[in-house]
Amino acid sequence: MAKRYCMAVDMQNDPVLIDEYKHYHAPGQAWPEITESIKRAGIIDMQIYAIGNRLFMIMDVDESFSFDAKASADAANPKVAEWEALMWKYQSPLPWAKPGEKWVLMEEIYRLP
C-alpha cells in the first residue's frame, strides 16, 4: 500500500533564482540520474508545487521506501550529491529546520472524512 509524505522548503527570495530553479524542474530538464535515484528509492510519484518562494513536495512511496535508505543511497551517488549541492544555490532552509536540513516533513492535520 502506498504512503504519502508532504514536505516543504523555501527558495532564495530572488526572482532570477526562482526562475532558474523552476527551469531545472521543468518537464525533461531534471537530470536523468536524479529521476532514476528517486524511482529506485521506492518513490512512485513526486510532485513539487511553488508559491512565492515556498516549495511543497508530495511523495507517494511504496513499502520499500525509507528516508534513511534514500539518504544513504544519495550520499553514495556522486551525481545526486552534485545535484543537491547545485540545488542549495536556490533553496533556503525553513526557519524551524534543523542545521543542514532542507526539505522538512509536514504534519497532516486534516483529511476529508
Q: What percent of the chain has pLDDT over 70?
A: 100
Please check whether residue 23 lies inside any domain of the structure.
yes
Please check whether residue 9 lies inside any domain of the structure.
yes
Query: Is 75 exposed, middle or buried, given 0-12, 13-18 or 19+ CB atoms closer than 10 A?
Result: exposed
- Reply yes or no on whether the pLDDT at 2 is more than 90: no
CATH number at residue 76: 3.30.70.1090
- Reply yes or no on whether the pLDDT at 1 is more than 90: no
- Cβ neighbors of 63 (< 8 A, separation 6 or more) are 1, 3, 42
Please check whether residue 112 lies inside any domain of the structure.
no
Q: Tens digit of pLDDT for each residue in 37-76?
A: 999 999 999 999 999 999 999 999 999 999 999 999 999 9
Please check whether residue 12 lies inside any domain of the structure.
yes
| Total structural domains within the chain | 1
Please check whether residue 32 lies inside any domain of the structure.
yes
Contact 71, 110 (CB under 8 A): no
Rounded to the nearest angstrom, the gap between the alpha carbon of residue 89 and the centroid of all alpha carbons in its chain is 14
Residue 46: domain span: 3-105
Alpha-carbon distances, residue 104 vs 3, 60, 86, 94 (angstroms): 17, 16, 18, 8
Please check whether residue 71 lies inside any domain of the structure.
yes
